[in-house]
Amino acid sequence: GAVVSQHPSWVICKSGTSVKIECRSLDFQATTMFWYRQFPKQSLMLMATSNEGSKATYEQGVEKDKFLINHASLTLSTLTVTSAHPEDSSFYICSASPTAGTYNEQFFGPGTRLTVL
């Protein structure tokens, strides 16, 4: 149980285009999902906390107009990187915290490798 999928697993796009990444909890409901960014050989950097049916909460320094987050259902959150630039190239990982969970555990998706040319 507690499986989280992410799609696509990798994407290459041209500078200036937008890219949407989906995060789904497959076998549990998640009121809260999280989006992280990970640079090579580094730990996870929290970008935003996504709550179903409400606006996402962004961490300091993360542009909310550039990284659009939508959490439309208890099993789906999307991250759209708008007007992507090469500096947005990174490994993006989502996680989901079960609504019925007790210990604030997060289950992670497999990640999406974004390369902006």
Partner 1 sequence: TQLLEQSPQFLSIQEGENLTVYCNSSSVFSSLQWYRQEPGEGPVLLVTVVTGGEVKKLKRLTFQFGDARKDSSLHITAAQPGDTGLYLCAGAGAGSYQLTFGKGTKLSVIP
Applying CB under 8 A, the residues found at the interface with partner 1 are: 2, 4, 6, 32, 34, 41-44, 46, 49, 91, 93, 95, 97, 103-111, 113
The order of strands in the sheet holding 4-7 is 4-7, 19-25, 76-81, 67-73
Shorter beta-carbon distance to partner 1: residue 31 or 82 = 31
Q: Count of CB atoms within 10 A of residue 76's CB?
A: 16
Shorter beta-carbon distance to partner 1: residue 84 or 93 = 93
Q: Choose among 97, 99, 93: nearest CA to 114.
A: 93
To the nearest whole angstrom, how small is the minimum distance from the Cβ of residue 93 to partner 1? Answer: 5
Shorter beta-carbon distance to partner 1: residue 44 or 62 = 44
Q: Count of CB atoms within 10 A of residue 1's CB?
A: 7
The pair of three-digit structure tokens given for residue 46, joined into one six-digit string: 């929290």
To the nearest whole angstrom, how small is the minimum distance from the Cβ of residue 113 to partner 1? Answer: 7
Shorter beta-carbon distance to partner 1: residue 47 or 116 = 47
To the nearest whole angstrom, how small is the minimum distance from the Cβ of residue 16 to partner 1? Answer: 26
91: Cβ contacts below 8 Å, ≥ 6 apart: 37, 38, 39, 111, 112, 113, 114
